[in-house]
Chain A
Amino acid sequence: MGKWTRRGLIGAGGLLAITGVAYGGGLLACRMVPRHTPDFFASLPGMDHDALRTIGQSVLRDHPGLARPGAATRLLTAKAGIERAIGTDCPQTRMTMVQEECRADFAAGRIVLVDGWMISETEALISAEAATA
């Protein structure tokens, strides 16, 4: 095994820095790239839409007012974090923003009980929207 030389260390550090900057830049650039995502909720990565609709039906059973056309969407878009998420094209960023909104709901006690599950108000509205779509 050869010794670490100063040149080697600087090179490795530089490589790491370039990689980090490139990844961060890529994430930023990703926000600028328009994508064909007509349904906001369809663009959340990793989402199981059948499960979402099933949860949504339970939410609608307990909160029938949300079944009115646009009701869930209006409540969702009234949330600042969700409005920002809608204005973002990058699915990963969107997901992060939605997750932050969910965490804020829990912190503020905006919690909905659905078949025993404690979910955030945002999750309840998203699933209700999915069930009515």
Chain B
Amino acid sequence: MLEDFRSLPGGETFSADICICGAGAAGIPMALELARRGISVILLESGGIGLEEDIQALYEGELAGLENTDLSYSRLRQFGGTTGHWTGQCAPLDPLDFKQRTAVPHSGWPINRKILDPFYERAQPYLQLGPYRYSTESWGNELSGTPLPLDPETVTSAVYQYSPPTRFAETYQGDVEGEENLRCLLHANVIHMKLASGTDRLESLTISTLDGKKATVSARKFVLACGGIENARLLLNFNTDRPAGLGNENDLVGRYYMDHLNIVASSIVLADNQTDLGFYSQATTEAQLGMALRLTDPVIEREGLLNNAAFLQVVWENPDHNDDFRDHAWLSFSSMAKAFARGQVPDRLAENACNVIEQPGPVVTGIYRNIARRFTGGGVIKAIDLKQDAEQSPNPDSRVMLGEDIDPLGMRRVILDWQVAPGDMDSLRRTHMILGAELGKAGLGRLNLGISDPADVTQAFTGYHHIGTTRMHANPRQGVVDADCRVHSVDNLYVAGSSVFTTCGAANPTLTIVALALRLGDHLADTLQAA
């Protein structure tokens, strides 16, 4: 069931087997699966069903490091979380990402890809994706077109799938409402976590509305699922029982903050400017697929590189073929047009309409170009830009901290000190050089290197992926949570979401977030039922 905490009496104590804080990509699937196994769940959400500015403003904070990012627009504090505006690009982390790599300090998860595979498979339907197949071989004859004939020992095709994208609020609101064992409270902000006296066991937490109505939630186990920045901020703020914050005995909470390095750089000029690149973006009967150029694992390991998947962004000779009009206004227009075409009222109609009204230029350009393309036929390729969310290496100095400013709930606001190491950019440059050499070797074209030497980290922009602040590691001195996502120093507190990633790989994080949440849900259910 779904209730608004503002309409309930204050001072109550809510009880359940499990309490999950955060109704987003991790919290909702986990809550649903637990409830379906007969376990009572309280799911707490700070926001309401839609965007509310005063709630969203709780995300505001200060940037101390690289400023090509932001704190309050990149995530959504509402039911469904940031799935309210994600783009839907999905892939699992590569097996290599889980390994301890000598060239990548602090790498190495305590779990591997094989352990996660069954959960990835279960996560696919939650994101309305196709079958769990992420290699060109697994798609076999269903693929059309051919990849560029590059040496398969060196370059491979990374396969991505595209979610519609699933808006968890619209897609799962009915399921949450209909689940008897699940009680979701909206406008319920967690403001305190209390340990049972003299133990390492979390006893209860305090929730509050923005206008000060409070209640207590007790549970046997608790899960923080509030996102990569907020999970750390909450743990650091809960310092009544533990002076450095919950789970922060080894000064690790908030550290190792990573984002994907969103960079469009380096361009390719093809020998044949009418090369068919249809292979790299195609639809099968089961999924919408995108392919990217990726170096093979042996090459990445031999060269000591970070992971990267470079998407081919075609620049057409005729600007009518270019997609550079696709900004937020266009995406809003496009989603409204598709909904109307299906005879439905678009999701978030007012927000989308305002996006279009405020920036009509890209929409007009997009409409014109889409019509013009029907008459101009196939285009001539001027160049291909490489677009990527490159892996950032784990760095303890890149971190989420608390500032002195206090939010309306009495909690310290966040300071984000995002540090990108020059070596991360050097790795990407070397990756592009290897691609350039392979293109030349195959006689396909020439590459213009767009990553500067010496490295200029300001070339990197946020991928809006907040990762690593409560990292998973078997050793409590190197990680905040263990392989089961349990906070090392608190018996019954768990963390879900991208904050537990030990390394970030090159894949977008949402699929892994859901897979890890389902795995955690199984673990919680199994341990509760065994007890």
Residues of A at the B interface (CB closer than 8 Å) are: 99, 102-103, 105-107, 109, 111, 113, 115-120
Q: List 23 A-B contacts (CB under 8 A).
A: A99-B443, A102-B440, A103-B440, A103-B442, A106-B437, A106-B439, A106-B440, A106-B441, A107-B437, A107-B441, A109-B437, A111-B440, A113-B449, A116-B448, A116-B450, A117-B446, A117-B447, A117-B449, A118-B436, A118-B446, A118-B447, A118-B449, A120-B440
- B210 touches A (CB below 8 Å): no
Name 9 extra pairs, CB < 8 A, besides A107-B437, A111-B440.
A99-B443, A103-B440, A103-B443, A106-B437, A106-B438, A106-B441, A116-B450, A118-B436, A118-B447
- In the complex, A109 Cα to B154 Cα: how many Å? 14
Interface of A is mostly: mixed
Residue of A nearest to B447 (CB): A118
- A29, chain B: closest CB distance, angstroms: 26
Q: Which one of B433, B438, B446 contacts A119 once the chains associate, using CB atoms below 8 Å?
A: B446
B443 and A118 contacting across the interface, CB-CB below 8 Å: no
- A45, chain B: closest CB distance, angstroms: 14
The proximity string for B residues 394-407 relative to A, scoring 1 for CB distances below 8 Å and 0 otherwise, is 00000000000000
- In the complex, A99 Cα to B438 Cα: how many Å? 14
- In the complex, A119 Cα to B450 Cα: how many Å? 14
Q: Which one of A99, A111, A117 contacts B437 once the chains associate, using CB atoms below 8 Å?
A: A111
Hey, which chain A residues are within 8 Å of B448, CB to CB? 115-118
Hey, which chain A residues are within 8 Å of B439, CB to CB? 106
Residue of B nearest to A119 (CB): B446
The proximity string for B residues 415-456 relative to A, scoring 1 for CB distances below 8 Å and 0 otherwise, is 000000000000000000100111111110011111000000
A118 and B437 contacting across the interface, CB-CB below 8 Å: yes
- B210, chain A: closest CB distance, angstroms: 52
- A105, chain B: closest CB distance, angstroms: 8
- In the complex, A72 Cα to B446 Cα: how many Å? 22
Hey, which chain A residues are within 8 Å of B446, CB to CB? 117-119
Hey, which chain A residues are within 8 Å of B437, CB to CB? 106-107, 109, 111, 118
- B483, chain A: closest CB distance, angstroms: 42
Residue of B nearest to A117 (CB): B448
- In the complex, A120 Cα to B437 Cα: how many Å? 9
- In the complex, A116 Cα to B451 Cα: how many Å? 9
Hey, which chain A residues are within 8 Å of B450, CB to CB? 116
Hey, which chain A residues are within 8 Å of B440, CB to CB? 102-103, 105-106, 111, 118-120
Specify which of B433, B436, B439, B441 lies most central, judged by the most chain A CB atoms within 10 Å of its CB: B441
B449 and A116 contacting across the interface, CB-CB below 8 Å: yes
- In the complex, A120 Cα to B450 Cα: how many Å? 18
Residue of A nearest to B438 (CB): A106
A103 and B449 contacting across the interface, CB-CB below 8 Å: no
- In the complex, A106 Cα to B271 Cα: how many Å? 15
Residue of B nearest to A111 (CB): B437
- In the complex, A103 Cα to B437 Cα: how many Å? 9
- In the complex, A94 Cα to B23 Cα: how many Å? 66
Hey, which chain B residues are within 8 Å of A107, CB to CB? 437, 441
Specify which of A113, A118, A119 lies most central, judged by the most chain B CB atoms within 10 Å of its CB: A118
Hey, which chain B residues are within 8 Å of A103, CB to CB? 440-443
- A100, chain B: closest CB distance, angstroms: 8
- In the complex, A20 Cα to B436 Cα: how many Å? 35
- B447, chain A: closest CB distance, angstroms: 5
- In the complex, A79 Cα to B474 Cα: how many Å? 56
Hey, which chain B residues are within 8 Å of A119, CB to CB? 440, 446
- B440, chain A: closest CB distance, angstroms: 3
- A42, chain B: closest CB distance, angstroms: 21
- B180, chain A: closest CB distance, angstroms: 62
The proximity string for B residues 168-192 relative to A, scoring 1 for CB distances below 8 Å and 0 otherwise, is 0000000000000000000000000
Hey, which chain A residues are within 8 Å of B449, CB to CB? 113, 116-118
B433 and A118 contacting across the interface, CB-CB below 8 Å: yes
- A106, chain B: closest CB distance, angstroms: 3
- In the complex, A66 Cα to B491 Cα: how many Å? 70
Hey, which chain B residues are within 8 Å of A111, CB to CB? 433, 436-437, 440
